[in-house]
Amino acid sequence: MAILVDRSTRVLVAGMTGREGSFHTEQMIEYGTNVVAGVTPGKGGQALFGVPVFDTVEEAVAQTGATAALIFVPAPFAADSVLECEAAGIPFITLITEGLPILDSLRVVNRLKAGGRARLLGGNCAGIITPGQCKMGIMPGHIFAPGPIGMVSRSGTLTYEVVWELTRAGLGQSTCVGIGGDPLPGTRFREVLELFEADPETKAVVMIGEIGGSDEEEGAAYIRTMSKPVVAFISGRTAPPGKRMGHAGAIISGGTGTAQSKVDALLAAGAAVADKTHEIPVLVAQALASRGVGVG
């Protein structure tokens, strides 16, 4: 089961022949991801790692039956690439690219929402992985293991940090979803929490948030209604207001988006909130045990 991607997912990579695109395509193929097509305008007819390259997404979909797209194209062309994938009928689009202008994000996010045909994940995200089945992103595959924990996060490396600790504690993952560090993500915490709630293989959820915006608070409102336990962690508790901490979306502005506001909302919603990353596996194990769910 898992959510959004599994071994049946047929992945198209936009920008596959670029430096980042080719490096990660090779890593994904090594992991076992079914990469069926690459797209780079002007490079149609070539092949890379045995994967055919097409000039357009439409052509690639018609020839290979791709069901998901992973985008590496540079920021000035990224919005166009998302729209091209949507127009070609791809229902799940992940945007790795960092640095999309906010008005581009705004237009793309609203367009996809209005169209109702495609889901966007990202931009500025690490992608998504269903361990042992499909890695569609830039994460190091070897730290993940299959299991019952759903994970959703705004940060890439912090996800690796926590997954590494979960895996070593014997807590494998159903799916790990990187929603990205941009201020207007295509998919938000709440939507991923809803998918995990409905997924029979997911028994508990780990949510990694950070300062900026009110996505965590919106997610917390849904956590109140969930049957599955949620363990959360928020980074940026010591970040000063008005400073952008690396991620375009990680900024406290006008008194909103503080770590404290998020921690308070999550605690009030019944989530367990870890103070330190190494407490997360302990809290997850406790949550599972208290509900009589055995692991491994």
Binding status of residue 244 toward another protein by CB under 8 A? yes
What is the enclosing helix (H) or strand (E) of 47? strand 47-48
Which amino acid does the sequence have at 29? Answer: I
Is 213 one of the binding residues for another protein (CB under 8 A)?
yes
Q: Does 260 bind another protein (CB under 8 A)?
A: no
Pairing of strands 47-48, 51-54: antiparallel
Q: Does 214 bind another protein (CB under 8 A)?
A: yes
Among 7, 168, 224, 278, binds another protein (CB under 8 A): 278
Bridge partners, 176 (sequence order)? 129, 151
Who's near 44: CB < 8 A, 6+ residues apart? Answer: 53, 54, 55, 56, 59
Burial call 201-220: b when 16+ CB within 10 Å, e when fewer: bbbbbbbbbbbbbebbbebb
Task: Say if residues 130 and 2 touch (Cβ distance below 8 Å).
Answer: yes
Residue in 225, 243, 268, 291 binding another protein, rule: CB under 8 A: 243
Does position 183 bind another protein by CB under 8 A?
yes
CA quadruple 252, 255, 259, 263: dihedral sign: negative
Q: Does 190 bind another protein (CB under 8 A)?
A: no
Q: Is 122 in the site for another protein (CB under 8 A)?
A: no
- Euclidean distance between CA atoms 56 and 41, whole angstroms: 6
Does 107 participate in binding another protein (rule CB under 8 A)?
yes
- Is 76 near another protein (CB under 8 A)? yes
- Shortest gap between Cβ of 192 and another protein (angstroms)? 16
Q: Could you say which of 101, 115, 170, 270 contacts another protein (CB under 8 A)? A: 101
Among 102, 267, 268, 289, binds another protein (CB under 8 A): 102
Tokens of 78: 């990224």
**Contact with another protein (CB under 8 A): which of 254, 292, 294, 296?**
254
Only segment of 7-15, 49-57, 207-215, 288-296 that touches another protein (CB under 8 A): 207-215
Residue 272 in contact with another protein, rule: CB under 8 A: no
Q: Which is nearer to another protein, 84 or 215 (CB)?
A: 215
Binding of another protein by 283 (CB under 8 A): no
Number of other CB atoms surrounding residue 272 within 10 Å: 20
Cα-Cα end-to-end distance for the chain: 17
Q: What are phi and psi of 235, to 5 degrees?
A: -100, 160
Phi-psi region of 42 (alpha: psi -120 to 50; beta: other; left: phi over 0): left
- Stretches 34-42, 51-59, 65-73, 241-249: which one binds another protein (CB under 8 A)? 241-249
253: alpha, beta or left, given left = phi > 0 and alpha = psi -120 to 50?
A: beta
24 counts as catalytic:
no
For another protein, which stretch binds (CB under 8 A), given 166-174, 194-202, 219-227, 236-244?
A: 236-244
Q: Which residues bind another protein (CB under 8 A)?
A: 23, 75-76, 99-104, 106-107, 109-111, 113-114, 138-140, 143, 153-161, 164, 181, 183-184, 208, 210-215, 218, 235-240, 243-250, 254-255, 275-278
Task: Report the catalytic residues.
Answer: 247
